[in-house]
Structure 1
Amino acid sequence: MKVLVLGGTGFIGLPAAQALVRKGHTVYSLARSEAKETTLAAEEIIPISGDVSSDAWIPLVATLDVIIETVTASPESSRSVFERVEAAARALRPPGSPPLSYIYTSGTWVHGDSRTTTVTDTTPILTPAKLVAWRPAMEQLVVSSTVLNGIVIRPSLLYGRSASIFGMLFKAAAEGKVSWPGTPGGRYAVVHADDLAELYVLCAEKASVVGGKIFDGANSVTESVDDLLEKLVRVSGAKGPYEYREPADAFEEAITTTTLLRPYLANALLGWTPKKQGFVDGLEMYYVAWQASL
Structure 2
Amino acid sequence: MRVFVTGATGFIGSAIVRELIDAGHRVVGLARSDTSAASLTAAGAEVHRGALDDRESLRRGAAASDGVIHAGFNHDFANFGAAAEMDRRAIETLGEALAGSHRPFVVTSGTALLAPGHIRTEEDALDPGSPSAVRLASEEMAMSFSARGVRVSVLRLPPSVHGNGDTHGFVPALIAVARAKGVSAYVGEGANRWAAVHRLDAVRLFRLALEAAPAGARLHGIGDEGVPVRDIAGAIGRQLKLPVTALSREGAEAHFGWLAHLFSQDYPASSTLTQKQLGWRPVQAALIPDLEAGHYFNG
Band of TM-score, shorter chain:
0.7 to 0.9
Q: 1:268 aligns with which of 273, 276, 279?
A: 276
1:192 and 2:198 matched: yes
Q: Tell me the residue number matched to 2:88.
A: 79
Task: Say which is worse superposed, 29-38 or 52-61, in terms of deviation.
Answer: 52-61
Q: CA deviation at 1:56?
A: 3.5
Q: CA deviation at 1:104?
A: 1.2
Helix, strand or coil: the match of 2:274? helix
Helix, strand or coil: the match of 2:282? coil
Helix, strand or coil: the match of 1:246? helix
Q: CA deviation at 1:52?
A: 2.0
CA–CA separation in structure 2 for the residues paired with 1:49 and 1:229: 41
CA–CA separation in structure 2 for the residues paired with 1:62 and 1:266: 28
Q: CA deviation at 1:57?
A: 4.5
TM-score calculated relative to the size of structure 2: 0.84
Helix, strand or coil: the match of 1:205? helix
Give the partner amino acid of 1:283: L
CA–CA separation in structure 2 for the residues paired with 1:123 and 1:85: 25
| Superposition map of 1:25-64 within 5 A | 25-54=25-54, 55-64=56-65
Relative to structure 1, the CA distance from residue 229 to residue 251 in structure 2 (aligned partners, 3 Å threshold; closer, same or farther) is closer
Q: Tell me the residue number matched to 1:93.
A: none
Q: Tell me the residue number matched to 1:143.
A: 143
Helix, strand or coil: the match of 1:260? coil
Relative to structure 1, the CA distance from residue 149 to residue 171 in structure 2 (aligned partners, 3 Å threshold; closer, same or farther) is same
Q: Return 5+ residue gaps in structure 1 as ranges.
A: 91-96
1:155 and 2:157 matched: yes
Relative to structure 1, the CA distance from residue 106 to residue 251 in structure 2 (aligned partners, 3 Å threshold; closer, same or farther) is farther
TM-score calculated relative to the size of structure 1: 0.85
Give the partner amino acid of 2:27: V
Q: CA deviation at 1:242?
A: 3.2
Q: Is the Cα–Cα contact under 8 Å of residues 68 and 102 in structure 1 kept in the other structure?
A: yes
Helix, strand or coil: the match of 2:152? strand
Q: Is the Cα–Cα contact under 8 Å of residues 233 and 242 in structure 1 kept in the other structure?
A: no
Q: Is the Cα–Cα contact under 8 Å of residues 92 and 141 in structure 2 kept in the other structure?
A: no
Task: Say which is worse superposed, 223-232 or 265-274, in terms of deviation.
Answer: 223-232
CA–CA separation in structure 2 for the residues paired with 1:52 and 1:182: 36
Q: Tell me the residue number matched to 1:67.
A: 68
Q: Return 5+ residue gaps in structure 2 as ranges.
A: 75-82
Q: CA deviation at 1:235?
A: 1.7
Q: For this pair of structures, how many residues does the alignment match?
A: 279
Q: Tell me the residue number matched to 1:23.
A: 23
Q: 2:188 aligns with which of 176, 183, 189?
A: 183
Q: Tell me the residue number matched to 2:220.
A: 216
Supply the RMSD in Å over aligned alpha carbons: 2.3
Q: Is the Cα–Cα contact under 8 Å of residues 169 and 178 in structure 1 kept in the other structure?
A: no
Q: CA deviation at 1:79?
A: 2.2
Q: CA deviation at 1:128?
A: 4.5
Give the partner amino acid of 2:229: V
Q: Is the Cα–Cα contact under 8 Å of residues 163 and 290 in structure 2 kept in the other structure?
A: no
Question: Which is helix-richer, 1 or 2?
Answer: 2
Q: Is the Cα–Cα contact under 8 Å of residues 4 and 28 in structure 1 kept in the other structure?
A: yes
Relative to structure 1, the CA distance from residue 234 to residue 104 in structure 2 (aligned partners, 3 Å threshold; closer, same or farther) is same
Q: Is the Cα–Cα contact under 8 Å of residues 112 and 257 in structure 1 kept in the other structure?
A: no
Higher relative contact order (CA 8 A, sep 6+): 1
1:206 and 2:212 matched: yes
